[in-house]
Structure 1
Amino acid sequence: MSLVLDIHALQSLPPSNINRDDTGAPKSAVFGGVPRQRVSSQSWKRAIRRDFEETLGAQSVGFRTKRVADLVAKRIIELSRADGAEWDGEKADAAAQSIFAAAGIKLTEPKVREGDEKRGHETGYLLFLSPRQIDAAARHLLENEGVKPTKKDAQKLLDDSHSIDIAMFGRMVADAPDFNVDAAVQVAHAIGIHESEPEFDYFTAVDDIVEDAEESGAGMIGTTQLMSSTLYRFASVDLLSLAENLGSRDAALDATSAFISSFITSLPTGKQNSFAHNTVPELVYIAVRDTRSLSLVNAFEAPVRTGDDRGRRAEGAARLAQEEASLEKNYGFVPKASFVMGLNDLPGAFDGIATATTLPQIEARVRDALASELEAQSEVSA
Structure 2
Amino acid sequence: MSKEKLFLDIHVIQNLPPSNINRDDTGSPKTAVYGGVRRARVSSQSWKKAMRDYFKDKADNGYLGVRSKRIVEYVAKKILEIDETLSFEEAEKKSLEAFTSAGFTVTEENKLPTLFFLGDRQASDFARAAVDNVKDAAILHKIIKDNVSIDIALFGRMIADKDLNRVISKENKKSKKIIDNGENEISSISLNENASAQIAHAISTHGVQTEFDYFTALDDLSKDAKPGAAMIDTIEYNSSTLYRYGNVALHEFYHQMKENKEETKKAIILFVEAFLKSLPSGKINSFANQTIPSSVVVSLRKDRPVSLVSAFETPIKTKLSQEGYVNESIEAMFKEYQKIQRFVDKPEISFYLNLSEGHVLEGAKEEINLSDLLNDLGKELDNRL
Counterpart Cα distance in 2 of 1:359 and 1:316: 20
Q: Provide runs of 4+ in structure 1 moved above 4 Å.
A: none
TM-score by length of 2: 0.88
Structure 1 residue 214, shift from structure 2 partner: 4.3
Amino acid at match of 1:169: F
Superposition pairs for residues 50-129 of structure 1, below 5 Å? 50-81=53-84, 86-110=85-109, 121-129=110-118
Superposition pairs for residues 251-266 of structure 1, below 5 Å? 251-266=263-278
1:243 aligns with 2:254: yes
Deviation per residue, 1:118-177 (Å, 9 max, x gap): xxx1222111111111111112222x2xx2421222023211112111111011112345
1:354 aligns with 2:364: yes
Structure 1 residue 283, shift from structure 2 partner: 0.3
Of the three residues 194, 197, 201, the one matched with 1:185 is 197
RMSD over equivalenced CA pairs, Å: 1.7
Of the three residues 146, 153, 160, the one matched with 1:167 is 153
Superposition pairs for residues 360-379 of structure 1, below 5 Å? 360-374=371-385
Counterpart Cα distance in 1 of 2:194 and 2:60: 24
Counterpart Cα distance in 2 of 1:360 and 1:214: 59
Counterpart Cα distance in 2 of 1:200 and 1:213: 29
Residue 378 of structure 1 corresponds to which residue in structure 2? none
Of the three residues 281, 306, 330, the one matched with 1:317 is 330
Of the three residues 284, 296, 306, the one matched with 2:318 is 306
Residue 215 of structure 1 corresponds to which residue in structure 2? 226
Deviation per residue, 1:73-125 (Å, 9 max, x gap): 122123211xxxx2233432232122222332222224xxxxxxxxxx12221
Counterpart Cα distance in 1 of 2:147 and 2:332: 42
Which moved further from structure 2: 271-280 or 88-97? 88-97
Q: Percent identity?
A: 39
1:52–1:60: 8 Å Cα contact kept in structure 2?
A: no
Structure 1 residue 220, shift from structure 2 partner: 0.9
1:138 aligns with 2:149: no
Counterpart Cα distance in 1 of 2:23 and 2:343: 38
1:16 aligns with 2:19: yes
1:42 aligns with 2:42: no
Residue 204 of structure 1 corresponds to which residue in structure 2? 216
Give the secondary-structure state (helix, strand or coil) at the position aligned to 1:179.
coil
Give the secondary-structure state (helix, strand or coil) at the position aligned to 1:344.
coil
Which moved further from structure 2: 101-110 or 159-168? 101-110
Counterpart Cα distance in 2 of 1:102 and 1:257: 38
Structure 1 residue 349, shift from structure 2 partner: 3.5
Counterpart Cα distance in 2 of 1:208 and 1:316: 46
TM-score by length of 1: 0.88
1:29–1:35: 8 Å Cα contact kept in structure 2?
A: yes
Give the secondary-structure state (helix, strand or coil) at the position aligned to 1:8.
strand
Of the three residues 335, 339, 342, the one matched with 2:347 is 335
2:129–2:140: 8 Å Cα contact kept in structure 1?
A: no
Counterpart Cα distance in 2 of 1:205 and 1:57: 43
Give the secondary-structure state (helix, strand or coil) at the position aligned to 1:161.
coil
Deviation per residue, 1:11-31 (Å, 9 max, x gap): 000001101100001011111
Residue 380 of structure 1 corresponds to which residue in structure 2? none
Counterpart Cα distance in 2 of 1:174 and 1:245: 22
Which ranges of structure 1 fall in alignment gaps of 5 or more residues?
111-120, 375-382
2:19–2:238: 8 Å Cα contact kept in structure 1?
A: yes
Which ranges of structure 2 fall in alignment gaps of 5 or more residues?
166-189
